[in-house]
Amino acid sequence: MNSGRIYLDNAATTPLRLEVIDAMREVAADADYNPSSLHAEGRRAAGLLDSARDRAASVLGVHRSEITFTSGGTESDNLAVAGTMRASAKGSRVVCSAAEHHAVLVTVERLADEGYQPIVLPVGSDGHVDVDAFSRELEPGTGLASVMYANNETGVVTPIAALATAARGRGVAFHTDAVQAPRWLALDVRSLGVDMLSLSAHKFGGPKGVGLLYARRGSALHPVLSGGGQEFGRRPGTENLAGIAGMVTALELAAAERAEATARVGQLRDRLESGICSTVPDVRVNGGEADRLPNICNASFAGVDSAALLMALDLAGVAVSAGSACTSGSPEPSHVLAAMGLEPRWRQGAIRFSLGPTTDTLEIGRVLEILPAVVADLRRPSAAGTRSETGRRDG
Ligand code: PLP
């Protein structure tokens, strides 16, 4: 980062790319009309919306009518999960993993209030759901199964095609939250075999507040919002045209750069990880034994409070995250690490480093210079008082 700071929180959000700003500016400057209006301005906006939909469909290898633009990952997940279940018979089962993002997990759990049956599958210590256990849960009367492509806290990548095949074999619709994937994993929807897939622009260089849901033609999906008939009747509300143009530009760039970025960033992440493990005692890499995104390192430092470590690193110029991104200004205990069976002492000291395509060797070197002393400092007995005080303030 040119500010001298080192941004290692790309799983929380990514900076807008310059190409994206240009694409958004172009639309905002002279074409930002309502695509549903019948006049020339509206028709022009509708043309731009159509072209953005075609471009998104082409990156994903799907038909344009299968793309619904939304306000982001949360809404895409809600639409896939609640929208599918509300089109299913009352009492139907809805299956997800215990490591899902809350946008899926909480939506699944709340469907119990509407008379559906949530089934939350455990994950192993590697963060994976067991494919056989997953298949067994897809009993007749299951409306939907949802398992994320890549976990936002640990980076653990799910063998999605195997789960999608199991679901298809049992006639169960399968959704995947692919919000963390676009920069690093292939997004060829047909080879993944999923029925629905969620994306969020701000995780791959696009703007916040815009996303999309791919839903296979013929998917039974009730809108979760009430209003007009936009987005093929699946998502009411005037489309965020500039945001959509920015997202599609970012998606194309992510796809074009994926192979190079994955190889380069993966090496940097491995260097960070081996550096941490060789210079800091009592540390573990969470999900380290599983196939993971190349940009995430979730490490636990025994005897250290993650909020205190986050703040100490922030003071030293390094932006990271503790557990999952916090919604209220203080990190919440990680349900993902708990689901993986981590003991509290490891959960309490978990930090997520998430690299981006512009992260460089110097930045990783600098983090490795800073980290051992910062951790040692927080482990000194005299730091314990500060740690518990911090805990009280956050609580
Ligand atoms: N799903 C995953 C895996 C995420 O990482 C996030 C964001 O943290 C979301 C869903 C929610 O996306 P958004 O911030 O666009 O609502």
pLDDT in tens, 1-20: 557 899 999 999 999 999 99
In the sheet with 296-301, reading across from the earlier edge strand, the strands are: 283-285, 296-301, 350-354, 321-322
Q: Which residues are catalytic?
A: 326
Q: Are residues 263 and 361 in the same domain?
A: yes
Q: Ligand 1 site: residues with CB under 6 angstroms? A: 72-74, 77, 101, 103, 148, 152, 177, 179-180, 200, 211, 325
pLDDT one-digit tens code per residue, 93-111: 999 999 999 999 999 999 9
87 and 216 share one domain: yes
pLDDT of residue 391: 34
Percent of the chain with pLDDT over 70: 94
Residue ID of nearest Cα to ligand 1 atom 8: 12
Of 254, 278, 297, which closes a domain?
Answer: 254
Domain boundary among the residues 207, 228, 254 is at 254
What does the pLDDT read at residue 394? 26
* Average pLDDT value for the chain: 94
Q: Give yes or no: residues 249 and 266 share one domain.
A: no
6 - beta bridge partners?
Answer: 318
Q: Whose CA is nearest to atom 13 of ligand 1?
A: 73
pLDDT at 379 over 70: yes
Q: What is the mean pLDDT of residues 170-186?
A: 98
Q: How many domains does the chain have?
A: 2
Q: Are both 209 and 352 inside the same structural domain?
A: no
pLDDT band at 376 (very low <50, low <70, confident <90, very high): very high
Cα of 332 vs centre of ligand 1, distance in Å, is 15
CATH number, domain at 201?
3.40.640.10
pLDDT, residue 200, reads 98
In this structure, the answer to whether residues 45 and 173 fall within a common structural domain is yes
The region of weakest confidence among 2-6, 73-77, 178-182 is 2-6
pLDDT at 323: 66
Do residues 182 and 324 share a domain? no
State the distance from the centre of ligand 1 to the C-alpha of 74, rounded, in angstroms: 6
Assess whether 171 and 306 both reside in one domain: no
Comparing 50-54, 153-157, 259-263, 331-335, the range with the smallest average pLDDT is 331-335
Residues 78 and 30 in one domain: yes
Q: Quick one: 228 and 289 in the same domain?
A: no
pLDDT tens, residue by residue, 118-136: 999 999 999 999 999 999 9
- Tens digits of per-residue pLDDT, 294-352? 999 999 999 999 999 999 999 999 999 996 444 545 567 899 999 999 999 999 999 99
pLDDT at 388: 42
Give the number of residues written for the chain. 395
Which pLDDT belongs to residue 332? Answer: 73
Range of the domain at 332: 2-13+259-394
CATH number of domain containing 277: 3.90.1150.10
pLDDT number for residue 393: 26
Task: Specify whether the CB–CB gap between 138 and 163 falls below 8 A.
Answer: no
Together in a domain, 103 and 117: yes
Per residue in 272-293, pLDDT (tens digit) is: 999 999 999 999 999 999 999 9
Q: Are residues 111 and 237 in the same domain?
A: yes
pLDDT value for 389: 38
Residues 214, 304 within the same domain: no
Domain C-terminal end among 254, 270, 296: 254
Residue of minimum CA distance from atom 9 in ligand 1:
73
